[in-house]
Each structure stands twice: as structure tokens, then as C-alpha cells.
Amino acid sequence: MRNNMVMLYQKWRAIFVWQDGPLVEAMRAGNIFLVDEISLADDSVLERLNSVLEPGRKLSLAEKGGPVLEEVVADEKFFVLATMNPGGDYGKKELSPALRNRFTEIWVPPISETEELRSIASSVLSNSKESNIVDPIIHFWEWFNQLQTGRTLTVRDLLSWVAFVNVIHESVGPAYAILHGAFLVLLDGLSLGTGLSGRDGKDLREKCFAFLLQQLKVLTSDTLPLDISRMEQYGWGDAKAICQ
């Protein structure tokens, strides 16, 4: 009891109190520790991981202070996973050979299979019963990436688009949600960083808009409202309908 009271008093007097971070907590509990974009971490951070990835799987908590240096030994179920983009990508760097050799590398190719994309998009939908909402998005994703415009839609774009539809489709309807999502993710900034002139960007935007309207007609199996086919509804164009 006395020792506990002394410890509580010391904690109360302390200005700073040590708190285990995600790595130490995962080591103690035997959890999986995910290091996302590991190649972007500072070298000082990566150096601390070296001892954890060695056979001893230990980490010295020198920053914790105290009369005795505490050393954490990972639980046998502790596991480290890391992700990174290839070093050739813009702004990326390679891991040091010493750290890289401590991992088993698995190359994951870009996702391009339609069914896999549909499965990913459907898993994000809040209402699985309305999974047909993703069909126009997937068809547009495939069609646009074949145009070679200098801009490629990625899986991140797909997830952002579906997440946006998730939020607003109940209030405005699926067709409006899909179209507004397209402008948010792609069409509003279509000519940025692609080398397209203002005129070419306008033509491509209208072409993409018309393709989406055709896909939405298939989804709704009905005539779309006139307002939905006006570019001015989305902050572009004039009052003339692009597609009746």
C-alpha cells in the first residue's frame, strides 16, 4: 500500500508521464503492427525498428527514463506489416538494404479486374441492397482510363467517389449523388496537371458527363429529369442540356 501511494504521488508531481505508443502496445499484446508508407518515415524512426525486426525482437525504452533501462520483448504473436510505393514514384525513396532484408516483399500489381473493383466499391456502400449504384461508376472508371488523357482514375478515386455517394444519395437520390461525386473526384479539376487546354478540358468534361448520363439511364431504367442533364447544375456550362 505504501509503495502504491509513493508511485501515485510521484506521478502526481511529474510534469510529464510516459505513455506507451502503438508499437510498444502491439509488442506487449501480441498484435499486428501496420506501418503504412514505411519509406516516408524519418531515418531515426526506422532505425528504432531494426532491433524489433531482429530475432530477439526487443526494444529499449531509453526515452522513458528511470533508474533502470526498460527493455520490451515482443509477444510471440506480435507481427509487423509494412506498405510502401516503389521508390521510382515521384517523391518516394527506397528503404535501406539493412531494413529491407528484414522483410518478406510481396509485389501487389494495380487492380484492374472489373469484378474486383466492383467488390471493393460495394464493400464501401452503407446499404448493400443498393449495390447496383456502383455499376455506372465502375463502367465510367473503365471507360475513362482507356481515353489516355494524362489523368488516370485510381482505386483511391473510386473509394472517394463511393464514399461521397454514401453520404448524400438518400437526400438527393443516387443519380444526383453519382454525378456530383464525379465532379468532386474528377471533372472539376479535369484540366489541372494534364496538359489539356481550357477548350479541350471543356470538351472532355462534356464527353464524360454525357457518358455518365447514358450509364444512369441504364441504372434508373427511366427518363432522367431535365435538370439533372444541365451542366450548370454542377457549376459548369450554360443552361443548354448536354444530353436530353
Q: What is the reported pLDDT for 20?
A: 85
Q: Is residue 239 part of a domain?
A: no
Q: Is residue 91 part of a domain?
A: yes
Same domain, 92 and 143: no
Same domain, 84 and 28: yes
C-alpha cell at 146: 482507356
Number of domains present in the structure of the chain = 2
The domain boundary, picked from 51, 78, 100, lies at 100
Q: Is the pLDDT of residue 243 over 60?
A: no
Q: Is residue 5 part of a domain?
A: no
**Domain of 78?**
15-100
Identify the band that residue 90 occupies on the pLDDT scale cut at 50, 70 and 90. Answer: low
Same domain, 34 and 85: yes
The domain boundary, picked from 71, 100, 129, lies at 100
Residue type for position 197: S
pLDDT tens-digit profile of 141-166?
999 988 877 788 888 899 999 999 98
Identify the band that residue 234 occupies on the pLDDT scale cut at 50, 70 and 90. Answer: confident
**Cell 479535369 identifies what position?**
190
pLDDT tens-digit profile of 33-50?
999 989 888 888 888 888
pTM above 0.75, yes or no: no
Q: Is the pLDDT of residue 242 over 60?
A: no
Separation of alpha carbons 150 and 132, rounded Å? 29
Same domain, 36 and 89: yes
Long-range contacts of 227-233 (CB under 8 A, 24+ apart): 228/175, 228/176, 228/179, 231/205, 231/206
Same domain, 163 and 197: yes
Same domain, 96 and 121: no
Q: Is the pLDDT of residue 78 over 90?
A: yes
Long-range contacts of 96-101 (CB under 8 A, 24+ apart): 96/46, 98/50, 99/46, 99/49, 99/50, 99/53
